[in-house]
Structure 1
Amino acid sequence: MADSREHTYTGTRGALTAREWPHPAPRYLAVLVHGYGEHAGRYEHVADLLVRHGAAVYAVDHMGHGKSAGERVLIHDFDEVVTDVHRLEEHARAAHPWVPVVVIGHSMGGLIAARYAQRYGADLAGLVLSGPVIGAWDVIGVLLAMDELPDIPIEPATLSRDPSVGAAYTADPLVWHGPFKRATLEAFARALAQIAEGGSLGSLPTLWIHGEDDQLVPLSGSRGGVEAIKGDDLTERIYPGARHEVFNETNKDEILAGVTAFVDRILA
């Protein structure tokens, strides 16, 4: 695995822990944006591949996630998370001026990355959305209608066809295994509406990848969200049989090769 290092910086609501996988002379900078309840450390294998592909890779544990400060999984406003990620990008750009930047967001990170592209897309070379929470996500309305939120953790088997992925997820002490927070669900609802109203991504090259058998963030719900924001350069890759975490799927090598091929095209 590629070497990595951690540092902390001040986010919109407290201290954040960021991770860097350096490259001595990167062709591009990759900013990884993780999903709900998890942390940047779950993307070691993705970062390793991207470093070998020529990237310097950066990621941050969002507020209330992983090693960062804050009440667990509590997010009041996703635009604050976007701002936190942008501060990390500024750090990356300061270390590597004039190097193109690609943002890669998974699940909730796809929501953050989509909003990021609406705010800062003019400075990006490309955008990758993996199983993004965008468009319609019915679970939000169902949960918000309840008087008391159920303490039901994510079913590990829905993550990947590889059972070792679910086992590692369950055993990971930095992963949140408790219930949603109502304020976070309300922030999700506002962010989905904000993205839908935020307009097209214009000429920003965008790759949308999704597992056909994604039961956590169903393909049908995300499709409407992608259609609402897509610009002039959208590549779609739907993987038969794949579940939610496509970067951890049994055919992850094929899927990650698709990501690097997309990056090669936009850099060319």
Structure 2
Amino acid sequence: MYKKLLFQTNYIKFQQLPLFYRVWMPDKPKGLILLIHGAGEHSGHYSLMGMECLKRNIALIAPDLRGFGHSGGHRCHVHKFQEYLQDLHQFLIHARRQYSGLPVFLCGYSLGGLIVIRYIQHFFYEPTGVILCSPAIGIRYKIPYLLKRFAELTSILVPRLCLEAFESNKTLDKFRFQSRFPDWTAEMMKDPMIFKYTLRWFTELLRNGTKALKEASKFHFPALCLFDLDDPVVDSEKIQKFHETISSSDKANIVFSQGNHQYLNHHRALEQIFQWLSPRLCKKR
């Protein structure tokens, strides 16, 4: 059914916007994972997961979100969070056309996890299962109410005004706003594909994290959630609450306490993900 293919890159166009994606495709895949990366990343960061999928005859499609990586769009900006959801929908349509009959799993890390959650809460697509890694339902940093309101109002007036998150961290510390970024961000900033975020992007992230938790009961698909109790970036308590509230009868979580945010490039976490996937790969669409 499928020609022999290990790895390729390509683009699809949606509303004249080029969206880049990478594909790891074994000769005879028994399932497909559509992976949505986190903020400040691109699909190229997931080659380890791609190779591990190939070993298990699982296909992996990983797009670059609009505004990130090789995809088009204003850097690190969306006018509405719905734009991410519509892009994900286009990739799902594309994947189902190309690889019909395979069980499809949605996987999202951090920002990607929130996108997957909001997509399921908005659209009627029924995946075989969902994998959420440190979903950005809420951020760990305590943002003062007045600062948050100022950001919301400014994002309406000047939506593309940049919020230099990693540099503003120093400014926030001067005002004792308890903002601290983990050590790995310094290395991540060396990647030439990392750009500045806009205030509109930031306020849309916060708004949709709140909505994701409020609408948790709309989520009723098989789900695996990985998170760290001491995650330095996202709010682990909100992730726990979301997982407890979703109405799925088939849900599991993997909880760490190592102070990490990223697990999709860790061999141990990947093994646990594949163990969860294994009995569900036999389910056909």
> TM-score range with shorter-chain normalisation?
0.7 to 0.9
- Aligned with 2:112 (options 97, 109, 114): 109
- The letter of the residue matching 1:144 is K
1:37 is aligned to: 40
Q: Pairwise CA RMSD of aligned residues?
A: 2.5
1:144 is aligned to: 148
- In structure 2, list runs of 5 or more residues that go unmatched: 155-161, 170-180
Indicate the larger mover: 257-266 or 119-128.
119-128
Pair 247,208 (structure 1): closer, same or farther in 2 beyond 3 Å: same
- Aligned with 1:47 (options 23, 30, 50): 50
Residue 196 of structure 1: CA displacement? Answer: 3.0
Q: Deviations over 1:192-235 (max 9, x none)?
A: 23323434355511000012321011312322233343421110
Q: Distance in 2 between matches of 1:138 and 1:240?
A: 15
Q: Do the aligned residues in 2 keep the contact of 1:137 with 1:221 (CA within 8 Å)?
A: no
- In structure 1, list runs of 5 or more residues that go unmatched: 160-165
Q: Distance in 2 between matches of 1:12 and 1:137?
A: 31
Pair 203,189 (structure 1): closer, same or farther in 2 beyond 3 Å: closer
1:162 is aligned to: none
Between Structure 1 and Structure 2, whose CA radius of gyration is higher? 2
Q: Do the aligned residues in 2 keep the contact of 1:105 with 1:111 (CA within 8 Å)?
A: yes
Q: What SS does the aligned partner of 1:66 have?
A: coil
Give the alignment of 1:19-98 within 5 angstroms.
19-98=22-101
Scaled by the length of structure 2, the TM-score of the pair is 0.80
Pair 131,258 (structure 1): closer, same or farther in 2 beyond 3 Å: same
Q: How many pairs align? A: 254
Q: Distance in 2 between matches of 1:189 and 1:172?
A: 25
Residue 137 of structure 1: CA displacement? Answer: 2.8
2:215 is aligned to: 198
Q: Which runs of 4 or more aligned residues in structure 1 lie more than 6 Å from their structure 2 counterparts after TM superposition?
A: none
Identity over aligned pairs, percent: 24
Residue 260 of structure 1: CA displacement? Answer: 0.3
Q: What SS does the aligned partner of 2:225 have?
A: strand
Q: Do the aligned residues in 2 keep the contact of 1:15 with 1:69 (CA within 8 Å)?
A: yes
Q: Do the aligned residues in 2 keep the contact of 1:103 with 1:127 (CA within 8 Å)?
A: yes
1:260 matches 2:260: no
Q: Do the aligned residues in 2 keep the contact of 1:156 with 1:170 (CA within 8 Å)?
A: no
Q: What SS does the aligned partner of 1:20 have?
A: strand
2:177 is aligned to: none
Pair 190,150 (structure 1): closer, same or farther in 2 beyond 3 Å: closer
Q: Distance in 1 between matches of 2:126 and 2:163?
A: 41
Scaled by the length of structure 1, the TM-score of the pair is 0.84
2:14 is aligned to: 11
1:171 matches 2:197: no
Q: Distance in 1 between matches of 2:41 and 2:245?
A: 27
Q: Distance in 2 between matches of 1:196 and 1:152?
A: 24
Indicate the larger mover: 118-127 or 86-95.
118-127
- The letter of the residue matching 2:100 is P
Q: Distance in 1 between matches of 2:221 and 2:207?
A: 24
Q: Distance in 2 between matches of 1:23 and 1:120?
A: 29
Q: Do the aligned residues in 1 keep the contact of 2:23 with 2:62 (CA within 8 Å)?
A: yes
Q: Deviations over 1:148-184 (max 9, x none)?
A: 976342845256xxxxxx63x23211123x3x31111
- The letter of the residue matching 1:137 is I
Pair 201,54 (structure 1): closer, same or farther in 2 beyond 3 Å: farther
Residue 91 of structure 1: CA displacement? Answer: 1.3
